[in-house]
């Protein structure tokens, strides 16, 4: 079996595993969607703050929901891998000629599928909520591309945590850390309106801000090449680091097994 076939079979398994368990899908769609709807409704008047960049707070917050959802579903893939370790499946798998790259990519296919379902759901919620995507249909495609890049980057991070800990509970207990990463970003307010210097500094140093601002620019501004370059550059940088880390972790796991 060549590498392509290995990826297809492992990807199929990951996809079926994910789709057969609504508990894998529903929370990572429901929580960001609920957070978006509630925060957007409660913070609706924020659009009247002098200097606020959008006419609707819902449109402003939509990009954050995209990143939150894809981040969560990405990390969730680590919990699936940890489950495979707990049940001994991964140990048996690494005894076969299947490469660690195939295992990694195969695992990500399930989380990418969840991310796609999320993206369509959030987009539908946005459109129902009256959001107009400033960059039009091509912008939606670019939004999806950036969001899927985020999903890949954080899937790999989930794989690292899953392989290192071997515990799905440990992966899930890392979720609040990602929520903190989002809360201390430009998810809820643009950086130029943050009045506390320390918070603005933290949000500027936080990669999640650039991922959110890249997607947000397509929703509220149109084609802002600077924001898109920062978004894709950050996603590529994080993905390069986490994919390398995930590949190394899986290879070490194979050697120990």
Partner 1 sequence: MKAYLDSVRAVTRRNLVNAIRNPALTVQPALGPIVFLVAFGGGLSAFGDIPGFDFPSGYTSFQFVFILMQAGVFNGVFLGITLARDLESGFARRLMLAIEHRTAMVVGYVLAGAVRSLLMFAILFGVGLAAGMQIDGSAWHMLALFTFPLLLSIVGSLFASGIALRFQTVQAAPLMFMPSFMLLFLSPLLVPFDLLSGWIKAVARFNPVTYFLEAGRGFISGRPHDTLLAYALGAGMVAVFSVWAVRSLKRAEAAG
Give the angle subtended at the CA of 158 by the CAs of 233 and 125, to the nearest 5°: 70
53 binds partner 1 (CB under 8 A): no
Is 210 an interacting residue with respect to partner 1 (CB under 8 A)?
no
Does 208 engage in binding with partner 1 (CB under 8 A)?
no
Residue 40, helix vs strand vs coil:
helix
Measured distance CA(237)–CA(241) in Å, rounded:
6
- List binders of partner 1 among 144-183 (CB under 8 A): 176, 180, 183
Near partner 1 by CB under 8 A: residue from 2, 4, 50, 256: 50
CA 20, distance to chain mean position in Å, is: 21
128 binds partner 1 (CB under 8 A): no
Q: Cβ neighbours of residue 3 under 8 Å, at least 6 residues apart?
A: 99, 101, 102
Q: Measured between alpha carbons, how far is 201 from 203 in angstroms, rounded to an integer?
A: 5
38 binds partner 1 (CB under 8 A): yes
Find the binder of partner 1 among 193, 221, 232, 245 (CB under 8 A).
193
Q: Report the candidate in 162, 216, 186 with the shortest Cα–Cα distance to residue 194.
A: 186
| Per-position x/- string for 107-126, each x denoting binding to partner 1 as judged by CB under 8 A, each - no binding | --------------------
The residue range among 59-67, 149-157, 191-199, 236-244 that interacts with partner 1, by the rule CB under 8 A, is 191-199
**Residue placing its CB nearer to partner 1 in the complex, 82 or 235:** 82
Measuring CA to CA, which residue among 158, 179, 173 is closest to residue 80?
A: 158
The rounded Cα 204 to chain-centroid distance in angstroms is 19
Q: Of the candidates 15, 19, 116, 194, which one interacts with partner 1 according to CB under 8 A? A: 194
- Does position 88 interact with partner 1 (CB under 8 A)? The reply is no
Packing angle of the helix pair 100-128, 3-19 (nearest 10 deg): 40
| Residue numbers at the binding site for partner 1 (CB under 8 A) | 34-35, 38-39, 41-46, 48-50, 176, 180, 183-184, 188-189, 193-196, 198-199, 203
């Amino acid at each position: 079996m060549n590498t392509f076939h290995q990826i297809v079979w492992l990807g199929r398994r990951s996809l079926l595993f994910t789709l057969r368990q609504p508990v894998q899908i529903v929370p990572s769609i429901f929580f960001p969607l609920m957070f978006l709807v509630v925060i957007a409704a409660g913070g609706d008047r924020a659009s009247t703050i002098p200097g606020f960049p959008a006419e609707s707070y819902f449109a402003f917050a939509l990009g954050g929901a995209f990143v939150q959802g894809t981040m969560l579903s990405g990390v969730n893939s680590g919990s699936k891998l940890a489950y495979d370790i707990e049940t001994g499946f991964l140990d048996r798998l690494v005894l076969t000629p299947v490469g660690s790259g195939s295992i990694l990519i195969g695992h990500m296919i399930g989380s990418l599928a969840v991310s796609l379902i999320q993206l369509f759901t959030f987009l539908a919620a946005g459109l129902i909520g009256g959001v107009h995507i400033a960059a039009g249909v091509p912008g939606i495609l670019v939004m999806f591309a950036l969001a899927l890049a985020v999903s890949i980057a954080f899937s790999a991070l989930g794989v690292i945590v899953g392989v290192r800990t071997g515990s799905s509970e440990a992966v899930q207990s890392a979720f609040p850390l990602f929520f903190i990463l989002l809360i201390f970003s430009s998810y809820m307010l643009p950086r130029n309106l943050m009045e506390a210097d320390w918070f603005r500094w933290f949000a500027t140093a936080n990669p999640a801000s650039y991922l959110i601002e890249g997607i947000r620019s397509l929703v509220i501004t149109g084609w802002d090449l600077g924001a898109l370059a920062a978004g894709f550059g950050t996603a590529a940088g994080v993905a390069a680091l986490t994919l390398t880390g995930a590949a190394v972790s899986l290879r070490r796991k194979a050697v120990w097994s």
